[in-house]
């Protein structure tokens, strides 16, 4: 996929919603497969969908770090298939009803837990919808975390996230 820069474009990955994006450069995304290590899949999909949904990358990576401890493309022992006691699943810890309502599908728990691309795309879509609604990243992160518009410690940590991969 190539995204041309300079002018607004419309991109839709699931044929249910078009999202306007603005880019400054031309960026080519190379293919990644489910055979690649999860840490590399995460990096590829966060880069792709953060750009597509116009989510600042440090925030996208901040969510991944806060939710499942993701620490970059060379985090070789990264476990993407995590679940929470609240029922959130996969690398970006998405709740099943949230995925189903945002993607207008009947996704299974197994797919939500293990399909890194689907999980990341859903997360970026949710973040974009929340930002369009609230217009404030800290409120968005608090809502992502609790389901309610608020600013909490989680929101402050994600907002302050700096990429510092070693």
- pLDDT for 7: 36
pTM, two decimal places: 0.81
How many domains is the chain partitioned into structurally? 1
Q: For residues 65 and 141, what is the distance between their CA atoms, to the nearest angstrom?
A: 13
- Cβ(21)–Cβ(27) under 8 Å? no
Residue 164 resides in a domain: no
pLDDT digits (tens, 9 = 90+) for 26-62: 345 567 888 899 999 999 999 999 999 999 999 999 9
In a domain, 148, yes or no: yes
**What integer pLDDT is reported at residue 165 of this predicted model?**
85
The secondary structure of 108-161, three-state, reads CHHHHHHCHHHHHHHHHHHHHHHHHHHCCHHHHHHHHHHCCCCCCHHHHHHHCC
How confident is the model at residue 54, as a pLDDT? Answer: 98
Chunked into runs of 10 residues, the chain (166 residues) has average pLDDT values of 36 39 45 91 97 98 98 96 96 98 97 98 98 98 96 97 88
> Ramachandran region of residue 25, left (φ > 0), alpha (ψ -120 to 50) or beta?
beta
Position 27 in a domain: yes
Count CB neighbours of 31 within 10 A. Answer: 7
Domain that holds residue 68: 2-159
User: CATH number of the domain that 34 lies in?
Assistant: 1.10.530
Residue 166 lies in a domain: no
In the block, tokens 């700096």 appear at: 162
Residue 85 lies in a domain: yes
Residue 85 is encoded by which pair of tokens? 């006691």
Residue 50 · residue 56 · CB < 8 Å = yes
Q: Would you say residue 165 lies in a domain?
A: no
Residue 149 lies in a domain: yes
User: pLDDT at position 31, please?
Assistant: 78
Residue 165 CA, chain-centre distance (Å), reads 18
What is the pLDDT, as a whole number, of residue 159? 97
């Amino acid at each position: 996929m190539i995204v041309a820069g300079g002018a607004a474009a419309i991109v839709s990955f699931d044929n249910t919603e078009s999202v306007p994006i603005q880019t400054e450069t031309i960026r080519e995304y190379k293919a990644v497969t489910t055979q690649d290590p999860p840490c590399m899949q995460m990096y590829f999909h966060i880069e792709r969908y953060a750009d597509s949904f116009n989510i600042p990358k440090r925030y996208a990576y901040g969510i991944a770090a806060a939710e499942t401890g993701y620490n970059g493309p060379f985090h070789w022992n990264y476990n993407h298939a995590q679940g929470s006691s609240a029922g959130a699943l996969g690398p970006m810890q998405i709740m099943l009803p949230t995925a189903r309502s945002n993607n207008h599908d009947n996704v299974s728990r197994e797919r939500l837990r293990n399909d890194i691309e689907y999980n990341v795309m859903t997360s970026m879509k949710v973040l974009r919808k929340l930002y369009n609604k609230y217009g404030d990243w800290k409120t968005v992160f608090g809502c992502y975390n609790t389901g309610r518009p608020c600013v909490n410690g989680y929101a402050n940590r994600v907002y302050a996230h700096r990429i510092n991969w070693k």
